[in-house]
Structures are given as C-alpha cells and as structure tokens.
Amino acid sequence: MSQNEGTLTEEKQQELLEKYDPEAGTRKIKGFMGWFVFAILLAFSLFHLYTGVFGMLTAQLQRSIHLGFALALIFLLFPARKKNRGKEVKVAWYDYILAAISVAIGAYWPLMIDDLVLRVGNLTQLDFYIGLAAILLVLEATRRAVGLPITIIAIIFLAYAVYGPYMPGFIAHRGLDLERLVQTMFFTTEGILGTPLGVSSTFIFLFLLFGAFLVKTGVGQYFNDLAIAIAGRSTGGPAKVAVFSSALQGTISGSSVANVVTSGSFTIPMMKKLGYKKEFAGAVEAAASTGGQLMPPIMGAAAFLMVEFIGGGITYWDIAKAAAIPAVLYFTGIWIMTHFEAKKMGLRGLKKEEMPDRKEVFKKIYLLVPILAIIFLLMSGMSVIRAALWAIVVTVAVSAIKKETRIGFKGMIEALVDGARSALGVAAATAAAGIIVGVVTKTGLGLKLANGLVDLAGGILIPTLFLTMITALILGMGSPTTANYVITSTIAAPAIILLGVPDLSAHLFVFYFGIIADITPPVALAAFAATAISGGEPLRTGINSSKLAISAFIIPYMFVLSPELLMIDTTWTYLLWVIFTALAGMMAIGAGVIGFWMRKMPWYERVIAILTGLCLIYPEGITDIIGLVAFCVLMGVQYLYKGKRVNSQIDIEA
C-alpha cells in the first residue's frame, strides 16, 4: 500500500487552513486582477531581495514601503467578510480605495522624508490625516489577515493612551492628545514603524522566502518520507513519524496550524489506521506541529524579534543555540509518550509493504543541504540577512541536482510570490504589535505593569513566572505568536528580569508559552485543526495535546531557575550531565502521564514517576541524586513486575 493512501487532497488542506488560520483566508482572484495582484506580490519580494543584496534603506523608508505593500495586498486579497474567504469573489470597490490609500501611506515617507526630517515633531494637517489613516488601516488589515483578538487589544491600548488620566490606580498617566498619538504611531520608530515591523521588513521576510523556496523543492513531502524511513517500523511508528516530520516542518513554516494541516493530513490517517484513538492521533500531530516553532535552527518569526528586543549584541545564533536543548527535550517528551501509549495499546509499527523504498529516500538526502548550510552560515557569524540570501541560492542550486526537484524559472517566480503572500499576516501582526509597544513606551506602562506583577506575586520568582505564563497563554489564544511575544516581552518579561533572571531566559520563557497557547484549551487552534482531520472531539484532543506537550509547561521554569539548560555560563561536562538527567526525567514524566512503562502503572507509581522526572529535569545536585535513586527504583519495580499487570498479548519490551 502507498504511504499516501488516506491523505487529504490539496483542496481539503486549503479549506482547513482557511477555517483555522486567518492568514490563509484570501479570496480567489482570476483574470486581469489576478495577474495584477500576482505582479504586486512579485514586486514585494523583489524589493526585499534588492535591499537584502544591496543594503537596507533607512528605517523609516524600509518599514513604510514594506507596510504600504502589505496593507495594499491585504485589502486586495483578504475580503472584509469572513464568509467570502476562499471564494472566487470580486474585489469590492471600497477595497480598491483602501488599497490606494495604503499605497499613499507607504509612499509618504519616501516622498516627504526631507520635509519630515526638517520639521520633526511638528505635524501638518496632511501629516496628521496620513498618520491617522495609517493607524485605522493597520487595525482593519490586522482584523482581516490576523484576527479580531489582536485588533481589539491594539484598540484597547490606543484608548488607554488617550484616556490615561481616567485610569485607576498605578496605571493612570497624563494621557496623549490625538495629535501626539498620531505622531508617535507613524512619525517615529516607536509605533507602527517600530522594531517589530522593522524585523518583519528585514529578517522575517527573507526567511519566509527561504521557506517558500524549500517548499518548491518538495522538501515537505521529503520530510514525511524520511521520517517514515527512520521511524516507521518502530513501535507505534506513525506517531513517531508525526513527531519527527513535524519537527522538521517547523523549518519551512512558522504556523502551528499550517504544520498540522500539511503534515497531519498525511500522519493522522496513518495513526488512526494503526489503532490510535482519534483524539490521541490528532493530539500527537498538534503537539508536534506546534513545537516546530521551538526547533532551531529556524524557529518562529518571534525568535527574530527576540534578537532586537534583547539587544546587547546577542545574535540569532545565540538564541537558536540556547533553544536547542529545551527543543530536544520537548520532542523527546512527545516521542516517549507516543512510545508508551503504543506499548500500552499493543500497537505495531508499519509493515514492510507500507514503507517507502529506503534507498530512494536516502538518495534525496541532498534536499537537507540548504538547512545544513544555513546552520553553518549562522554559526560562522554571518548576518541573518546574508545567511537567508545565501540559503536561497543554495536551495536553488541543490534543487537542480535532479529533474524532479528542480525549481526552474517558473518555480522561482512562484516561490517569490508565495513567500510574499505568507509575509502579509506577519506584517499586519507586527504593525499592530508596534501600536501596543508604542503606547507602552510612551506611557511608561511596561515598567508599571512589571512592578505591579512583581508586587502581586509578593516579589517571589515562581508566582511571577506563573502569572506571566497565564498572561502569555491567554494572549496566545487569540493572537499570533509574533504579536503575543511582543506584548508579553514588553509587559511581562521585564517583571522576570527585575527578579534577577537573565534576559535570554526571561524572553524565551514568554516565547515558549506564547507558542504553546496553540494547543492549550479552551481555544487550541492547532488541536482543533487536527480534529478536522482526525474526526475526534476538539476539547478532548486539546487536553491530550497539552498532556503530550507537558514538557513545554515544565522546561521554561527549569531554564529560568537554571540557565545551564540554555548553555549559559556552563561547561561541556556539566552540560552533558544536565542533558542526561533531563532526558531521564522526560522518560519518567512520560511514563507517569501515560500510565505505562514496562507494565501498566497504578496511580501512586504515576505520581512518583512525575515527581522523579521533575527532580531530574531540574539541574541541581541534590535533586539529581534524589531523582536518579527514585528512577532506578521505579525501573527495577517495573522490570520485576512487568508481566503481572498487562495482557500477555501486548508487547511489553522495554
């Protein structure tokens, strides 16, 4: 049987993306207008390639042109009404007007830069109306391309900026009149044209282009084939295939939902056929796909924002290196739990005839060269922008090795257009996030909330971390990872830093929980997208995915308490010890959560196993000793009694 049997068609995948991922909900445009939009998308990418090769423009010019392109394209591609998404509908007359105004906004800084610099701080009437229009269009574009929750949050912050004197207690401030607000939002680099949009207009766009070129080589399907070749025959093989392929898919997609739909349409039917319950199959894919943004070398877009927000000379490679061990622990935890679940249910791996030809799979191993190349380039100290550009060149060169993977001129044009299309939601989200950051900066709200959060937690680190986690999870239920990270890193991360935590640990903490919100009930978009494929119950799938991703709820606390997990100020010998104990800890936690190791575990053994795992993950001498002793005792008990509480038909091999 072909491994592709039971997978979803491209049309069905697109339907699911449009339903669960606002960034995919574009109208279908044909005829002259379709070609016109195609040309604008192509020009959008060519502009970024030009500035990437020959040097970025000044901040205001680079960002305003990027914004103008993005806003105009959003109004042409994203209909105002949700019911028209994915349908072949004409562009409404008012969308043409909004797109034209967007072009004017994008061109205003380049055309008027000399005058704007000379009269900085003094707005003309035209300046005021252009700035006000920019704010309103960003809000509407964000609603269409990203979703209503982040739009509402941005509106609340704008209202807070104006009505500051009427706010209660410590969050009150003098307030900004409308003119000062407009000036901050569009005529400085502290608002819409701030750091978030700056990162979108440089690093993020080029890496999205890199991902689009990778897709054209067929690397996404290759990830699935490679995962099957490596893990397909093992116990519960399809679930492990989902974990492995989804970790790789994160390299080419910054969206949890997109990962679920593309990879899950292939892996979930395999898991169901093997015998996994619908909710568990969907949960495995949702948890693994969400973790794709945590996996170096190419993490979610928010990781590029982190470089700018932390500052102090930190590089993207520093962040990727720090995130490596936590990411490995995350996926190891899911892998272990799928293994124990398969053992508990007596599930086999794939049969030989269900496997792809391994020789043919490994003949295409060269498709991984671009990913290895970008790792090498980042490690060598090359700038992120140059690394992305060279990675695109390497991708095109590698694709030419064989006819079936060759991109060709047409494919390159399509990749440029697809990359620009995928950047629209990110541009809108970062522009809206810039509004929030601008208000926080101008009103001093960040420090006020940080101090308030620390006071609420009694100045104790763990309660402060817990409150920050809840904040990130709530924001992440309705906001994309980029916007969520910007908000929480501006408001909550300073509270953690005030308590003496290293900047990198604090920012990775909020980054993790912003991503994990995608599988945290009651609003777990990645889990809900998985249920559309598995046919399972959404809430139960969300709960199962949270259980499988339990490590993501634990590890951030651990690397805040012990930065050694992020390879900060540690030795290699100690680092290897930390990795060993942490992996053992994940095994114990996985067994405790699933309730099976070498045999079914009673409730008290499960509790002991979870506590043992926590001791082992936390890198401290006394906890490691306690954890190792308890781990050995548990393993001994499991081995001695492994045949006494399970059906003899179940394979109980350790």
pLDDT digit string, tens, across residues 96-111 = 999 999 999 999 999 9
Side-chain half-sphere CA neighbours of 412 within 13 A:
13
> Is residue 337 in some structural domain?
no
Domain count, the chain: 1
- Asked whether the predicted pLDDT for residue 51 surpasses 90, the reply is yes
For 438, the token pair is: 């601008």
Q: Which residues form the domain of 614?
A: 570-654
- Asked whether the predicted pLDDT for residue 379 surpasses 50, the reply is yes
> Is residue 198 in some structural domain?
no
Mean pLDDT, residues 224-229 = 82
- Asked whether the predicted pLDDT for residue 56 surpasses 90, the reply is yes
For 626, the token pair is: 């306690």
> Is residue 626 in some structural domain?
yes
Residues forming beta bridges with residue 596, ordered by sequence position = 600
Mean pLDDT of the chain, nearest integer: 85
pLDDT-wise least confident of 46-60, 75-89, 494-508: 75-89
> Is residue 592 in some structural domain?
yes
> Is residue 608 in some structural domain?
yes
Query: What is the pLDDT at residue 1?
Result: 38
- Name 53's Cβ contacts closer than 8 Å, sequence gap at least 6: 389
Q: What is the percentage of the chain residues whose pLDDT exceeds 90?
A: 31
For 259, the token pair is: 């990962």
Q: Which residue has the higher pLDDT, 350 or 472?
A: 472
Label residue 203 exposed, middle or buried (CB < 10 Å: 0-12, 13-18, 19+).
buried
> Is residue 349 in some structural domain?
no
Query: What is the pLDDT at residue 515?
Result: 84
- Asked whether the predicted pLDDT for residue 569 surpasses 80, the reply is no
pLDDT in tens, 444-468: 888 888 888 888 888 899 999 999 8
Query: What is the pLDDT at residue 652?
Result: 36
Task: Map residue 596 onto helix, strand or coil.
Answer: strand
For 34, the token pair is: 């379709």
The pLDDT confidence band at residue 639, using thresholds 50, 70 and 90, is: confident
> Is residue 305 in some structural domain?
no
| Residue from 393, 401, 361 nearest 377 by CA | 393
> Is residue 614 in some structural domain?
yes
Label residue 49 exposed, middle or buried (CB < 10 Å: 0-12, 13-18, 19+).
middle
- Asked whether the predicted pLDDT for residue 478 surpasses 70, the reply is no
Distance CA 2, CA 67 (A): 45
In angstroms, how far is CA 168 from the centroid of its own chain? 35
**Do 385 and 203 touch, CB atoms closer than 8 A?**
yes
| Residue from 540, 543, 428, 436 nearest 491 by CA | 436
Query: What is the pLDDT at residue 397?
Result: 93
